[in-house]
Chain A
Amino acid sequence: DAGVIQSPRHEVTEMGQEVTLRCKPISGHNSLFWYRQTMMRGLELLIYFNNNVPIDDSGMPEDRFSAKMPNASFSTLKIQPSEPRDSAVYFCASSLMGSAYNEQFFGPGTRLTVL
């Protein structure tokens, strides 16, 4: 079992550039989460997909952020245009939803630095 796969692991970009983060969830999982982690704010849920459909995007900070899940094995989080305050570690997690007791499996994260 490969676990949740994220790419790239590190991304350094300049302000104004478009950034695309990628995630492959664990096969068979039907839920996918994007989180952002910073020292100041801790771990924040950005968006949640269930069966490839966005269910809750209330954590997406603003219109510069968008996420898609075209199929059960792939999701992207895009920031356009990027700003220095977007610098953070972005995690993707997946889960098999079926009850209230749902363990989430996290990927290794993408460390984003916007200069």
Chain B
Amino acid sequence: SQQGEEDPQALSIQEGENATMNCSYKTSINNLQWYRQNSGRGLVHLILIRSNEREKHSGRLRVTLDTSKKSSSLLITASRAADTASYFCAIPPSSGGSNYKLTFGKGTLLTVNP
């Protein structure tokens, strides 16, 4: 299984600004998922983008996927202090029977200052 690699490792912005995080991977994928983890809590699924999709929106979240560059980005618009969390991309294997086996990156720690 492959691991997505998030970039940057940490990001600090002011409330109201936009935050962009990136995820790069190495081999072909069926889909890519983004999760959020607030401090001391479990991960929460944010959005899933399929390999045949280029962009997807959910509220203030916008996810893009460029399979030619093997990368995805997560954009949070008009950030709030409550968006402070770690954000992970997760990738299932593209083939074989182990599609349950999500591999998580190390995450991007986003801090939104009020």
Measuring CB to CB, which residues of chain A are less than 8 angstroms from any residue of chain B?
4, 31, 33, 42-43, 45, 48, 50, 55-56, 91, 93, 95, 97, 100-109
Q: How many A-B residue pairs have CB under 8 A?
A: 53
CA distance A48 to B99 in the complex (A): 12
- CB neighbours (8 Å) of B107 from chain A are 42
CA distance A33 to B102 in the complex (A): 10
Interface residue? B13 (CB, 8 A): no
* Closest-CB distance, B45 to chain A (whole angstroms): 4
B102 and chain A: residue at smallest CB distance: A104
Interface positions, chain B 67-114, Cβ under 8 Å from A, are 88, 92, 98-107
Sort A-B residue pairs by CB-CB distance and give the 10 closest, nearest first: A106-B42, A43-B104, A103-B45, A106-B43, A100-B99, A42-B106, A100-B30, A108-B42, A107-B42, A109-B42
* Closest-CB distance, B100 to chain A (whole angstroms): 6
Measuring CB to CB, which residues of chain B are less than 8 angstroms from any residue of chain A?
30-31, 33, 40-45, 48, 50, 88, 92, 98-107
CA distance A102 to B99 in the complex (A): 8
CA distance A95 to B35 in the complex (A): 14
CA distance A97 to B104 in the complex (A): 18
Q: Are the CB atoms of B104 and A56 closer together than 8 Å? A: no
